Amino acid sequence: MVDRTLNAEGLLCPLPVLRARKALAEMEAGAVLEVRATDPGARKDFEAFAEAAGHDLLRSDEADGVLIFHLRKASPPSSAPRISP
């Protein structure tokens, strides 16, 4: 299930990733963002972005010249203090 769709068609790198990062920042942890892009470099960019940010890249497909990515927003790191034994 997609919670939000971002149309980044026609935008060149790094704009699709930058807009996706902004959209994800506004979403709840666990929500899924669909990004539609046409820049051929977006495939590598989104793979690297998801890995670096800790998001799950659920889908990376192409249909009629449009790259489609589904990203699940990562949970924020726990801010609870660690207790040493």
Domain of 43, CATH number, reads: 3.30.110.40
Vertex 28, ends 40 and 30: CA angle to 5°?
70
Instruction: Tell whether 83 is covered by a domain.
Output: no
In a domain, 78, yes or no: no
Range of the domain at 49: 4-72
* CA pair distance 6, 30, nearest whole angstrom: 17
Is 90 exceeded by the pLDDT of residue 48?
yes
Q: Per the domain annotation, does 81 fall within a domain?
A: no
Convert the pLDDT of each residue in 1-40 to its tens digit.
999 999 999 999 999 999 999 999 999 999 999 999 999 9
Upstream peptide bond of 16 is cis (omega within 30 degrees of 0): no
Whether residue 45 lies inside any domain: the answer is yes
Strands (DSSP E) contained in the chain are 4-8, 32-37, 56-63, 66-72
pLDDT value of residue 82: 58
Q: How many domains does the chain have?
A: 1
Query: 15 burial class (0-12, 13-18, 19+ CB within 10 angstroms)?
Result: middle
What percent of the chain has a predicted confidence (pLDDT) above 90? 85
Catalytic residue IDs: 13
